[in-house]
Amino acid sequence: MIYANDFFTIGNSYPNDDTVQLIDNYTHEAVVYKKCAPGIPVNGTEDGAIYRKKDNDFYMRQWLGDVRVAWWGIENKSVDERTQLINKVLSLGYDVFFDKMEITIKGKLVVNSNQKLLSNGCKIIQIEKYIEIFDCEDKEDIMIKGFVLTGHGDDYEPSSSSRSVGVLCYGAKRLLIEGNTFENFTYSAVSGLREVKHLIFRFNAVENSFNEAWGKQNAPTGRKDNTGITVGGQNITILKNRFKNSSQGIVIAEKSDFVSISDNDIENTILEHGMYVDAGVSNITIIGNRVRNTVKMGIKLQNFDYKNYVSHNIVISNNTIENTRGGGDGISINNTTGVVDAQLYAKNVVVSGNIVRNAGQHGINIRFVDQGVISNNVINDIQFAGVYISNVKSVEVCHNNIKTTAENGIMIEGHNTVLSVNSNTIENPGIRNTGLDDLLTGVTIRGFFNKEISLKYNKIIGGGNAMKHGVFVEFILPTDESPEKKTFQETYEIIGNTVLDAIDGYSYRFLNHNVPLRLFNNNYQYLLNTPTQA
């Protein structure tokens, strides 16, 4: 407590018995004092407030700006006393400024609603295991800006309820986290898996010292729950941040809605994906991010059938994905329920303008999508197919530039209805040059139940002695055990394509050349065992 007895002087005003407005004698600020409960203030000398006295009554100064934790002399306290004292400062409810210093704490710091925590580089180090630094759970209207937050670093728990985080924000509303650096939180820099609303996470850096050996511990799954940020809810913005050396970069929890992830840098995931979007997420835009050096996929949206889940309005555009490892698609949209049983389709999907380079599996892998456009992507140096398509409805794959794929330029793999593949350029597919012909082809249509498939105005160019065929079309006959019709070649349209330098001497290979296509014309080709149009 700071106490000044000189209170009532000329020029002061008294709106009522409980409030005094005056010009402070020392700072010359216009300030307000309000009358306290009778008697000496119970907080004694440790609350940091300024009091003045009239007769036997005390009046406490009402702060209009922020207070500074340095006013409480926290640097000279023990770690337990310091943690308790900072919490006492926060409990006053004022905006709080942390000067540039290094603070070690033991336990969490509880943030209030309607509070700003500001700094110009204060470093806060957590030495207690399994506990957050800032607790914002179920709070509203909070800003956290300008800190360097360091986790314990040796307190990983294989649980989504882990509190080994920098900022815990379950159920928080209108939370701004800006311009901070997060280091070595074993669960996540920021965690709010459920019911977060109106979160902005921008201009932050999450830079860990973890490596792949650390990520592989806790077999068989490894430390997959370690992320740069893990949040879920509504109206989430993740903008212009850096993420480095976490098991996964960004994780968006299931059933989130209205999510924007843009202009972030994600580097060196040590176990799994650059971004992981869980089941039932809608109205999400992933735009202009740079993802490189991921152990698994660059950007993954994975649906699963749950009751009342929907997944619609998805835009993945203008991202750059480089250097995914074996099994890692550059961009993947899928439903893992199963080919036969899956019901949840991602609806209204745009994947456009992305660059995918050196992917360890497919460049772009699209499954279980209803109404989508995959367009204007640049895809090169891919270990399997440049674009892989399966289980889609009303999808267009167009104007993509695909170069140097170990297998197909474009693979169309079963259960597709109303699929248009047009105006793509494919160069040098099938460079693995070993295996089945249908995997060493520019465009392949194979598997069961493909209907209304069109290939139009694509240009397919082999390189050296690698590409077997420009277009390969499989035909599966019914059997006694499975008499249902499997292939609908009569609904296919192949028009205006150009195929150059297929090494087997012909450009189009049909396993059944007796079933005519609906349309087959104006293709530049070497014809051998090629069906006519109906």
DSSP H/E element including 265: strand 265-269
Is the pLDDT assigned to residue 11 strictly greater than 70?
Answer: no
pLDDT at 360 over 50: yes
Of 200, 196, 193, 187, nearest in space to 237 by CA: 200
Task: Provide the pLDDT confidence category of residue 48 given band limits of 50, 70 and 90.
Answer: low
Q: What is the mean pLDDT of residues 33-47?
A: 64
pLDDT of 6 strictly over 50:
no
Phi-psi region of 394 (alpha: psi -120 to 50; beta: other; left: phi over 0): left
DSSP 112: P
**Within 13 Å of residue 29, how many CA atoms lie on the same side as its CB?**
9
149-188 pLDDT, tens digit each? 999 999 999 999 999 999 999 999 999 999 999 999 999 9
- Is the pLDDT score of 407 beyond 60? yes
How high is the mean pLDDT of the chain? Answer: 91
Length of the chain: 534
| pLDDT band at residue 236 using 50, 70 and 90 as cut-offs | very high
In percent, how much of the chain has pLDDT > 70?
89
The larger pLDDT score, comparing residue 55 to residue 111, is at: 111
The answer, yes or no, to whether residue 332 has pLDDT greater than 60, is yes
Q: Are strands 19-23 and 13-16 parallel, antiparallel or unpaired?
A: antiparallel
Position 261 confidence tier, pLDDT thresholds 50, 70, 90: very high
Q: What confidence category does residue 248 fall into, taking pLDDT thresholds of 50, 70 and 90?
A: very high
Amino acid symbol at 82: R
What's the distance, CA 42 to chain centroid? 48
How far is Cα 369 from Cα 316, in angstroms, rounded to an integer? 13
The pLDDT tens digits for 422-444 are 999 999 999 998 889 999 999 99
pLDDT of residue 258 exceeding 80, the answer is yes
- Give pLDDT, residue 10: 47
Q: DSSP for 269-282, please give it.
A: ESSS-SEEE-TT-E
| Long-range Cβ contact pairs of 125-129 (< 8 A, separation 24 or more) | 125/150, 126/150, 126/151, 126/152, 127/79, 127/152, 128/152, 129/154, 129/155, 129/164
CA 232 to centroid of chain Cα atoms: 10
CB 78 within 8 A of CB 105: no
Residue 119 is encoded by which pair of tokens? 């700094």
Q: What is the rounded average pLDDT of the residues 341-346?
A: 86
Which of 35-39, 184-188, 441-445, 453-457 shows the lowest mean pLDDT across its residues? 35-39
CA distances in angstroms from 228 to 134, 184, 391, 419, listed in the order given: 16, 10, 32, 37
Tell me how far apart the alpha carbons of residues 112 and 518 are, in angstroms, rounded to a whole number. Answer: 68
pTM, whole model, 2 decimals?
0.89
pLDDT, mean of residues 271-297: 98
**Model pLDDT, residue 52:** 73
pLDDT of amino acid 58: 78
Asked if 108 contacts 132 with a C-beta cutoff of 8 angstroms, the reply is yes
Average of per-residue pLDDT across 128-140: 98
In whole angstroms, give the CA distance from residue 213 to residue 204.
26
From 201-210, 255-264, 302-311, the region with the lowest mean pLDDT: 302-311
Q: For 313-327, what is each residue's pLDDT tens digit?
A: 999 999 999 999 999
Mean pLDDT, to the nearest integer, of 231-240?
Answer: 98
Q: If you average pLDDT over residues 295-323, what whole number do you get?
A: 95
For residues 374 and 14, give the distance between their C-alpha atoms in angstroms, rounded to a whole number.
70
Q: pLDDT per residue over 461-517, tens digit each? A: 998 788 999 999 999 988 888 888 999 999 999 999 999 989 876 789 999 989 999
What per-residue confidence (pLDDT) applies to 527?
A: 52
Residue 365 in contact with residue 340, Cβ under 8 Å? no
Candidates 129, 74, 66; CA nearest to 95 is 66
**pLDDT of the residue at 435:** 87
Q: How far apart are CA 519 and CA 382, in angstroms?
A: 31
Select the more confidently predicted residue: 494 or 35. 494
Q: What is the pLDDT of residue 45?
A: 47
Looking at the DSSP bridge assignments, the partners of residue 370 are 347, 393
The highest-confidence range among 5-19, 198-212, 298-312, by mean pLDDT, is 198-212
